[in-house]
């Protein structure tokens, strides 16, 4: 999808985060970007493509007051810019007053305030980026871990598009072959055999199916997971929580029931964003505050993606723990048998009630590295990271729709359905594949995607 022509509007926005900082940037894009910029500031040298120019920001309301700031102004001439339009970036000091002055005056001179994501949307419409690359811009801005940033950077470089491109070429070739067989059946063009169609469909489906499987880890890298730490009071939940976050985040005392409310902290475990939730001890509450804490603990347990059950190695399982373990048999869960330093003999790791278990000591740190590895393995299912893996639900839906259409085409071919009907399935697969990169994506979907961007990007 490309823009039908040059956009007549010139847009402007503050492209740096709200608040005060060392640098703040006002960005303009459109046919009037350069002419507005030279009226916003007093340049010491004429603008030149891709070269920063020193300038003074002057309070237009009082020329005699002189300059109020210095700035660097960089002009990128169309089409050699992010949006393929004339783009000007004015880098002043990060004072909200100065940046708002520049933005307000730019609007007075003919620009309009940019919509969220409008700069990147213009880059997409101009063909500078495909839709997966445009979405990666947002993902990079929102990244919380280095792994997320690397994945977004890979996608910005076109890794996902490159994985899909050969499959699309094969699909288009098959469509062309069947179309030719229908159009020229009375000539010398042979009708494609059932075996050849099946072979070609298999070659298209196989890499797509492998790509679809990458969503299991990609979704986790993109969205992260929640791990609820649950157990009886005084089993060492808060101590293990502090060990995992590597600081004293939760209050720890020898008195059972110290934790009355949920305590959460986000960590990165080998690049996987993981929100740890320390919960109140599960028991029959004695006070109103503890009862409320226990109720919230049960809610956190129900909502969590992963569960870490903490048991006291010095105590036998009680009735509440038996019920808890029985309820977790079909959920991703681990058991940490804590206070192992108080045991007289070492005990091997194994299973408790069918749930993988290992011995830990929050006091000495014993078993903590192994616990981290187990949590990571549980979170990722052992799936490895790979370039161009699926991280977005929209991307995953496009691939699964493509695979569904190819499955229908394969079934139709095996049942010797006429090629005209098989082509309907193949075109449906092609449309879904094109929606991944934005070539056939509806305008309302595009608007929804770019509305999630921040203003100025």
What is the predicted pLDDT for the residue at 76?
Answer: 96
For residue range 37-78, list pLDDT tens digits in order.
Answer: 999 999 999 999 999 999 999 876 554 556 789 999 999 999
Pairing of strands 272-278, 225-231: parallel
Q: In whole angstroms, what is the distance from residue 360 CA to residue 357 CA?
A: 10
Cα distance between residue 354 and residue 61, in whole Å: 75
Give the pLDDT score at 88.
Answer: 96
Contact 441, 1 (CB under 8 A): yes
Instruction: Give the start-to-end residue ranges of the domains of the chain.
Output: 11-129, 154-214+388-437, 223-380
Q: How many CB atoms lie within 10 A of CB 162?
A: 11
| CATH topology assigned to domain 154-214+388-437 | 1.20.120
| Structure-token pair, residue 173 | 């070739």
CA–CA distance, 12 with 101 (Å, rounded to integer): 12
Separation of alpha carbons 284 and 130, rounded Å:
56
CA distances from 239 to 109, 259, 353, 362 (A): 60, 11, 24, 6
Instruction: Enumerate the β-bridge partners of residue 268.
Output: 273
Between CA 187 and CA 194 the distance in angstroms is 20
Task: State the pLDDT at residue 350.
Answer: 82
The tens-digit pLDDT sequence of the chain (457 residues) is 444 455 689 999 999 988 888 999 999 999 999 999 999 999 999 999 999 999 999 876 554 556 789 999 999 999 999 999 999 999 999 999 999 999 999 999 999 999 999 999 999 999 898 888 988 888 888 888 888 888 888 888 888 888 899 999 999 999 988 888 776 655 555 577 889 999 999 999 999 998 898 888 888 888 888 888 888 888 888 888 888 887 665 444 444 455 556 788 888 888 788 888 888 766 555 655 556 767 777 787 888 888 898 998 888 888 888 888 888 888 889 998 988 888 876 665 688 888 888 998 888 888 889 899 888 888 877 666 667 788 888 899 999 999 999 999 999 999 989 888 999 999 999 999 998 888 776 676 777 778 878 888 8
CATH of domain 11-129: 3.30.1360.120
How far apart CA 366 and CA 217 sit, in angstroms, is: 29
Q: What is d(CA 444, CA 451) in angstroms, rounded to the nearest whole number? A: 10
The helix (run of H) or strand (run of E) holding residue 163 is: helix 159-183
CATH of the structural domain 223-380, one choice from 3.40.50.300, 3.40.1830.10, 1.10.1060.10, 3.30.70.100: 3.40.50.300
CA distances from residue 140 to 128, 150, 155, 185 in whole angstroms, order as listed: 17, 8, 10, 51
Cβ–Cβ under 8 Å, residues 15 and 89: yes
């Amino acid at each position: 999808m490309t823009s039908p022509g040059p956009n007549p509007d010139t847009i402007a926005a503050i492209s740096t985060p709200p608040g005060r900082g060392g640098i703040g940037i006002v960005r303009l894009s459109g046919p009037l970007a350069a002419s507005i910029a030279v009226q916003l500031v007093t340049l010491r040298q004429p603008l030149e493509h891709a070269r920063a120019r020193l300038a003074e920001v002057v309070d237009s309301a009082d020329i005699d007051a002189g300059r109020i700031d210095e700035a660097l102004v960089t002009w990128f001439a169309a089409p050699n810019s992010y949006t393929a339009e004339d783009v000007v970036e004015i880098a002043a000091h990060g004072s909200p007053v100065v940046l708002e002055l520049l933005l307000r005056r730019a609007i007075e001179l003919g620009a309009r305030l940019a919509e969220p994501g409008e700069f990147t949307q213009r880059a997409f419409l101009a063909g500078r980026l495909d839709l997966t690359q445009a979405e990666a811009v947002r993902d990079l801005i929102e990244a919380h871990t280095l792994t997320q940033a690397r994945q977004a950077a890979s996608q910005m470089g076109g890794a996902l598009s490159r994985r899909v491109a050969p499959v699309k070429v094969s699909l288009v070739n098959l469509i062309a072959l069947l179309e030719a067989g229908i159009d020229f059946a009375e000539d010398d063009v042979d009708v494609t055999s059932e075996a050849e169609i099946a072979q070609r469909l298999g070659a298209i489906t196989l890499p797509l199916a492998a790509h679809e499987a990458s969503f299991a880890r990609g979704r986790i890298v993109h969205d992260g997971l929640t791990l609820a730490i649950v157990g009886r009071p005084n089993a060492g939940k808060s101590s293990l929580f502090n060990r995992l976050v590597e600081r004293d985040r939760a209050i720890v005392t020898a008195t059972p029931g110290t934790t009355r409310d949920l305590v959460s902290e986000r960590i990165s475990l080998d690049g996987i964003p993981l929100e740890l939730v320390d919960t109140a001890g599960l028991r029959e509450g004695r006070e109103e505050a503890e009862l409320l804490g226990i109720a919230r603990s049960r809610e956190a347990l129900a909502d969590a993606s992963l569960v870490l059950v903490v048991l006291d190695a010095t105590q036998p399982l009680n009735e509440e723990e038996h019920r808890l373990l029985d309820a977790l048999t079909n959920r991703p869960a681990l058991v940490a048998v804590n206070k192992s330093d108080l045991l007289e003999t070492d005990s091997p790791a194994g299973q408790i009630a069918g749930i993988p278990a290992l011995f830990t000591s929050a006091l000495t740190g014993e078993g903590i590295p192994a616990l981290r590895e187990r949590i990571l393995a549980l979170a990722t299912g052992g799936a490895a990271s790979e370039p161009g893996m699926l991280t977005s639900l929209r991307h995953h839906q496009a691939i699964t729709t493509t695979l569904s259409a190819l499955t229908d085409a394969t079934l139709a071919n095996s049942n010797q359905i006429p090629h005209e009907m098989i082509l309907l399935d193949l075109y449906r697969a092609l449309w879904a594949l094109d929606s991944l990169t934005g070539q056939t994506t509806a305008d309302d979907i595009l608007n929804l995607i770019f509305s999630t961007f921040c203003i100025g990007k």
